[in-house]
Amino acid sequence: MHLDKAPPYSVTWTASRTTSRSNRAYLKHAALNGTIIVNNPFWWSADDKFFNYSLAEKLGVAVPKTVILPHKKHPQGTTDRSMRNLEYPLDWEGVFAYVGEHGFLKPVDGGGWRDVYHIHNREEFFRAYDESRDLCMTYQKAVEFNEYFRCYVVGQRRCTSCLRPTPARTTSGICRIREL
């Protein structure tokens, strides 16, 4: 894509492709040039699950018990000194007493079910947390459900077509969860 050329599309629907930095850059360029982007690539920069959960709770939406966890490994460009304000060692007993042992460990940002772990016990939790590298993670209580829907909203209208994914469905990349 050349900087001085607008994309040839008037509308682009994107899902997990926004996980690539080059695709996000392209989509932002397309949006700047008038392309309507479904699944806004600018949101990726602002997406923060922990903040979103906090906001939902403040607005009266029921949110499962959730904690934010420090990085397993320091992110590039940080040191122990950068993390000196964090509680260490972490009170794991307090984490499990609050959230429970059945939950989801997932990055605080991102999408496409990348690096999401369905946790059933402490052994699985620590194995998954050890694999989380330098990602900032949230741990959220699992909610038992019979049906799960994702409804897309465009503007102020709810779309009539909803996805009905299941955690086992992986062919489209929707709801792919790493089982341990």
C-alpha triplet 60, 156, 110: angle, nearest 5° = 65
The confidence score (pLDDT) of residue 84 equals: 73
Using pLDDT thresholds of 50, 70 and 90, give the confidence band for residue 115.
very high
The CA distance from 176 to 73, in Å, is 24
Q: How many CB atoms lie within 10 A of CB 121?
A: 12
The CA distance from 114 to 106, in Å, is 8
What b-and-e string marks burial along 54-84, b requiring 16 or more CB atoms within 10 Å of the CB? Answer: eeeeeeeeebeebbebebeeeeeeeeeeeee
For the stretch 146-161, pLDDT in tens is: 776 666 666 665 555 5
What is the sign, positive or negative, of the torsion defined by CA atoms of 58, 64, 67, 73?
negative
Q: Is the pTM of this model over 0.85?
A: no
What is the rounded average pLDDT for all residues in the chain?
A: 79
Using pLDDT thresholds of 50, 70 and 90, give the confidence band for residue 170.
very low
Average pLDDT over residues 107-136: 91
